Chains A and B, each alone.
Chain A
Amino acid sequence: MAENKEFWRWTEYSWRDENKDWRGAAIITAGIDVGSVSSQAVIMADGELYAFNNTRTGSNSPDSANKAIEGALAGTGLTLENINFIVGTGYGRVNVPFAHKAVTEIACHARGANFMGGSEIRTILDMGGQDCKAIHCDEKGKVTNFKMNDKCAAGTGRGMEVMADLLEVPITEVGDLSFQVEEEPPPVSSTCVVFAKSEAMALLRDGWKKEKVLAAYCSAMAHRVSSLLDSVGVQEKFFITGGIAKNRGVVERLEKELGVKAVKTKIDSQIAGALGAALFAKTLFEKQQAKSVA
């Protein structure tokens, strides 16, 4: 019997800036993004990125939020009590037990992208696990227009997981493999993951290689999200957040279709929402303090 591998699975991990010490910071804030597929916790010291954790969302939001914050706190010597303000965001934002406030993921992604990609970012595409968002923002990272799709799996990480499982390709290798084709095949049906899956099975039966099917699927996905972006318009500079931002199979095809390159950063694209939440937390905490002084 074939081994039952989970090809969609990606590595959960924590990161910490070893050169920083939170003890010298005046304000410590945290953002928790409980998404439908992944959860992140970001800790910021005086508005600078200090530590984060990226984990798979479990069956309930409070546990996932706890797991993420514990992962980010681990090894720092920080405890929850040291954090001045915590903002929850994402699909499970109202179920983060230790958060002081909930902010929508749209506002947080815009704020996070503004931090990660700079104040010139005007258009953000967030390709999440179960949704896809096109956002416009101003130089402060404030949302001016947004359109999101969370009803349909086409154009989401979940759709890519379905395909990775079907083709038995680890999800992190999808991007590179999709370029191992002699010629770019036409995209599969970009409209519905269910139909794309049956189309992919038919193509495999017809002798297509996995790489070619992946290429066809990646370009269908690029096409799908580009039509969401087109409906709000792409103003430069352009930034991509979410898990799919790590999949060059989709990103490069999307850039080609749009004729626009996305700004790249070394910070993990999946933490944009939690990072934005931590930034909101800082603003909210400062407001609160200003109020109590006055």
Chain B
Amino acid sequence: MITAGIDMGAKHIKVVILKDGEVIGKSKISTGFDQGASARKGLDEAGSQAGIELSAIEHITATGAGRKSVPEKNSEVTEVGAGAVGTIRLIPEARTVVDVGAEEGRGIKIDGAGKVIDFAVNEKCAAGAGSFAESMSRALEMTVREFGEISLKSEKTIPMNAQCTVFAESEVVSLLHAQTPKPDIARAVCDAIASRITSMVRRVGIEQKVALIGGVSHNIGFVSSLKRALNCEVIIPEDPDYVGALGAAIIAGERKTNG
């Protein structure tokens, strides 16, 4: 059986194709203005990597903010549901899933079968998501990767006053004018996002082990801040940004089997 999951994120579209439960193709492309066309492009890329025609896919499940805009989909699943199922496949001992994407953050509590027990979401505000780090790294004139790396060089905790990304940009500029070292600013930014994510996750209750998924997992500065804020180990699966798409593909398989 061949199924696919497509995760229509705010910044990137991720596709995973499964054949009898094994990943045979995947792709990650930027989300264009025409979401339907971008979705098609993502599916085509993953399909050619898998060496199959799209018509060979028996069920496609879409997730993510733009999941409604996938013409090829057979069904939909929420980001929470897809993230939970994808995580438990990769990290069976995970009980809390922290999912941080470009424009959204989520805390999900799951049982051993990947069933969602409780969740909390932060959406529609850039302050608790990847865009925050992105805007701040732009203000510091570096890439998000460099930004994450230099933040590790700091051992200082500077609190950021501004919550809003727009106001925080001005605050970062003032910190630069005040000759604050860039690593300290970068750490302050990572700490700020981590503290917002942590208080959101606390609402569902933190049960170990904690898994971190979503594109922001690639920011090592954020990961380090999150570990400090949660005060526990955080497990990041391989390809953390594909977990939602993987979960959707697994769910596609279940739906196909159960009719």
Contacts and interface: CB of A to CB of B under 8 A. Distances in A.
B82 to A, nearest CB: 22
A194 B124 contact: no
8 contacts: A152-B163, A153-B165, A153-B167, A158-B167, A159-B166, A191-B124, A192-B125, A202-B33
A87 B165 CA distance: 32
B139 to A, nearest CB: 13
Contacts of A191: 124-125
A210 B33 CA distance: 17
Interface in A185-212: 189, 191-195, 202, 205-206
A162 interface: yes
Closest A-B pairs by Cβ, 10 of them? A153-B166, A194-B126, A191-B124, A152-B164, A194-B165, A193-B166, A202-B33, A151-B163, A153-B164, A192-B126
Interface residues of B, number: 14
Interface in B152-184: 163-167, 174, 177
Given A192-B124, A192-B126, A194-B131, A205 B164 contact: no
Interface in A155-180: 158-159, 162
User: Which of B125, B135, B163 has most chain A Cβ within 10 Å?
Assistant: B125
User: Which of A191, A192, A202 has most chain B Cβ within 10 Å?
Assistant: A192
Contacts of B103: 195
Contacts of B177: 59
Given A192-B125, A194-B135, A205 B166 contact: no
Chain B contact surface mostly = helix
A158 B126 CA distance: 16
A267 B213 CA distance: 54
A130 interface: yes
Contacts of A192: 124-126, 165
Nearest to A130: B167
A202 B30 CA distance: 13
B131 A206 contact: no
Interface residues of A, number: 17
Nearest to B103: A195
Interface string B172-199: 0010010000000000000000000000
Contacts of A152: 125, 163-164
B33 A206 contact: yes
A162 B164 CA distance: 13
A158 B33 contact: no
Contacts of B126: 192, 194-195
User: Which of A162, A193, A195 has most chain B Cβ within 10 Å?
Assistant: A195
B129 to A, nearest CB: 9
A53 B10 CA distance: 45
A158 B163 contact: no
Contacts of A151: 163-164
Contacts of A205: 33
A195 B104 CA distance: 11
A261 to B, nearest CB: 30
B155 to A, nearest CB: 28
A59 B125 CA distance: 27
A59 B175 CA distance: 12
A186 B188 CA distance: 37
Contacts of A206: 33
Contacts of B131: 194-195
A205 B34 CA distance: 11
Nearest to A149: B164
Given A194-B131, A202-B33, A206-B33, A189 B124 contact: yes
A158 B174 CA distance: 16
Contacts of A189: 124
Contacts of A202: 33
